A and B are shown apart, each in its own frame.
Chain A
Amino acid sequence: MSAYTSNQSRSPLYYTLLAIGVLVVLAGLYAVLLMEEHGHIITGMNNQIVWGMPHVFAIFLIIAASGVLNISSIGSVFNKPAYKARAPLAGLLSIAMLSGGLSVLMLDLGRPERIIVAATNYNPTSVFAWNILLYSGMFSAVALYLWTLMEQRMQPWSKPAGFLVFVWRFVLTTGTGVIFSFLVARQAYGTAILPPMFIVISFAWGMAVFHVVQSTIYAWNHLTLDEHVQKRMKNLMGVFVVAALYFVAAYHLTNLYFARQTEFERFILLNGGVYPLLFWGGYILLGNVLPLFLIYHPALGKSKCVIAASLLIILGGFALLYVLIIGGQAFPLSIFPGYQVSSSFGDGAIAHYQPSLWEMLLGAGGMGIAFVVTAIGIRVLDFVPREIPKAH
């Protein structure tokens, strides 16, 4: 087909991009080497801000990895043909992002060489231990699902495999949410709304990532996405964004009602410096208002607007995670409610966090892994959604 011969002229660009991706991954690995040698002192994380930028990147990748499978689920479980064609690409993206996110998490450990210990000593009450099983099982489940989708003889099995993946990712995202829910002592966490919030957020972010990747693939191959399909997909993304916003709103509104949470909410929403800025400016404005405008305004909503909206949603996602993860740790623990406290260990004081280059590189390395896996996967196997392409 003539559409593919133009690929040859694009090869140098493809290999350049791939090389850049690999370089980013190598930079991340270099950061890990330094962290292994010198310890976490070279990062900005400390005894008050225990989880930092690497965790923001990792949790975004993991949530998006679970959410992107929504596309497949709508195809296999809910039988929408337009989505069925996109299921393999969604599966690849899921594996790619999960690899990236998990790599960052595992390499940020104080003793990453003890992964074997983690894999052989399980504490059944620890959600981290459960997650080890859930995440590795996810790889197998998605791989199995991809096999049923792409091999002709296995097609009849794609529906049960799709259902398995559907259920598994709900459990997995819940597992990611309860990491924070189970932290009873911290004012930002310890609430049951986090797992469902994470699930709905995953729908929005997964869809956004999928849009970005799909649009790039289509543009690269000089194809045009069918307008009808595009409209349905972007509208669905808009619905997910609104739903996610609803959960975030419910979380904050409930918190504001409790007298003991009021000071924390004021910190996050009003006078916490970078945190209100990121929340209102990054998440609400850039991550919700602007994308929704781009999606739903009658004069807009074409492919450029969809890519822009998706990128903004992703940006908003990072902002939200920064506020949740780092803001939640920056606010001091309430050890003596009703008392003003001070000590040599940061009690009663807002903790400061300055991410260092190395942890940013580690996080970027995770994104790089996701990119490299996707790029190689698309090139080597048949992941481009098979529809009737309208070439220019």
Chain B
Amino acid sequence: MNDLNLQRRNFLKTSLGAAAVAIAPGLMLFKVAQAKGEGASSKVRWGMLIDTAQCKPGCNECVTACSRENGWVNENRPTDPQWIRKIEIKDISSGRELSLPMMCQHCENPPCVDVCPTNASMKRADGIVLVDKHRCIGCRYCMMACPYKARSFVHEPLHDQNPDVPRGKGTVESCTLCVHRIDNGQQPACAEACPNQAILFGDLNDPASAIAQKVKSVATTQVRADLRLNPGVRYQGL
């Protein structure tokens, strides 16, 4: 019995020691990596309001700006990425024509987040839907699930990426709402670049923000609202 107790004591000592050695680096990291600021908060919900009446057919400024800011290039190959695109639509029954930009709609209930096996496709607390490329295995299920065809797959090795916007072969990517700019207090590149100020960016949860007030006063719609995804991107004049 004595022998057994001794064995048990030794076992506990060694395992506690091993556990301490394993946890120690993490504790040290905690001290080092105590981040500044609060990070993304659910008190904020970033969104965009696009006034289709101001959007001119043939104008591609938002697309060019996004492409320049984030480093993707579209040469019209079916494998080329396109984070934002201009869509020309025509009402079949009435004949009315419209032009509008379409990008990731940053849904509140994103289907892409539901289907991602590794939680790479995620929604940040402030509503921005992102792909965590550290976890993306490239299964493309999110691309199948997205109702807006917002996502692109990187089909070839990339070089000379923008240090603010990491992108790589074999992962899925989409509009990040220029999260690297937002976290810096700036506007998304497309909103800033539009010559007609058709894209209004802001905090939908802040009643004092321009976008919240406009959404409250004029008629706006969400694309495929019937799917009840509650996108953060709304369109006026659709």
Query: Which residues of chain A are within 8 angstroms of B136 by Cβ–Cβ distance?
Result: 110-111, 114
- Is there a chain B Cβ closer than 8 Å to A51's Cβ? yes
Tell me if A117 and B170 are in contact (CB < 8 A): no
List B6-63 residues whose CB lies under 8 Å from chain A. 63
Pick the contact of A340 from B92, B156, B224 — CB < 8 Å?
A: B92
Interface residue range, chain A: 35 or more
The smallest beta-carbon distance between A301 and chain B, in angstroms, is 41
Tell me if A41 and B227 are in contact (CB < 8 A): no
Tell me if A345 and B85 are in contact (CB < 8 A): yes
Distance, CA A132 to CA B102, complexed state (A): 34
The smallest beta-carbon distance between B190 and chain A, in angstroms, is 15
Query: Which residues of chain B are within 8 angstroms of A346 by Cβ–Cβ distance?
Result: 78, 149
Distance, CA A96 to CA B196, complexed state (A): 61
Query: Which residues of chain B are within 8 angstroms of A343 by Cβ–Cβ distance?
Result: 85-88, 102
Tell me if B153 and A126 are in contact (CB < 8 A): no
Tell me if A184 and B155 are in contact (CB < 8 A): no
Query: Which residues of chain B are within 8 angstroms of A185 by Cβ–Cβ distance?
Result: 111, 145-147, 224, 227
Tell me if B147 and A184 are in contact (CB < 8 A): yes
The smallest beta-carbon distance between A49 and chain B, in angstroms, is 8
Interface residue range, chain B: 35 or more
List A180-197 residues whose CB lies under 8 Å from chain B. 182-186
Tell me if B88 and A341 are in contact (CB < 8 A): yes
Tell me if B79 and A335 are in contact (CB < 8 A): no
Tell me if A344 and B153 are in contact (CB < 8 A): no
Pick the contact of A126 from B89, B115, B151, B227 — CB < 8 Å?
A: B115
Q: Mark A114-143, 1 if CB is under 8 A from B, else 0.
A: 110110011101111100100000000000
Query: Which residues of chain B are within 8 angstroms of A122 by Cβ–Cβ distance?
Result: 117-119
Pick the contact of A39 from B117, B146, B155 — CB < 8 Å?
A: B155
Q: Mark B171-204, 1 if CB is under 8 A from A, else 0.
A: 1100000000000000000000000000000000
List B86-101 residues whose CB lies under 8 Å from chain A. 86-93
- Is there a chain B Cβ closer than 8 Å to A16's Cβ? no
Given contacts A182-B145, A333-B147, A335-B147, whether A117 and B92 have CB atoms under 8 Å apart is no
Q: Mark B137-171, 1 if CB is under 8 A from A, else 0.
A: 11111011111110111111100000000000111
Query: Which residues of chain B are within 8 angstroms of A118 by Cβ–Cβ distance?
Result: 117-118, 137
State the 4 A-B residue pairs at the shortest beta-carbon distance, nearest first. Answer: A110-B138, A110-B170, A185-B147, A128-B117
Residues of B within 8 A of A (CB): 63, 74, 76-82, 85-93, 102, 111, 113-119, 135-141, 143-149, 151-157, 169-172, 223-224, 227
8 example contacts (A-B, Cβ-Cβ < 8 A) are as follows A39-B169, A47-B80, A47-B153, A109-B139, A125-B113, A179-B141, A183-B145, A344-B76
Given A47-B81, A47-B143, A109-B170, 13 extra CB contacts under 8 A: A40-B170, A47-B149, A110-B137, A110-B170, A110-B171, A114-B137, A122-B118, A125-B113, A126-B114, A126-B116, A129-B117, A339-B90, A339-B92
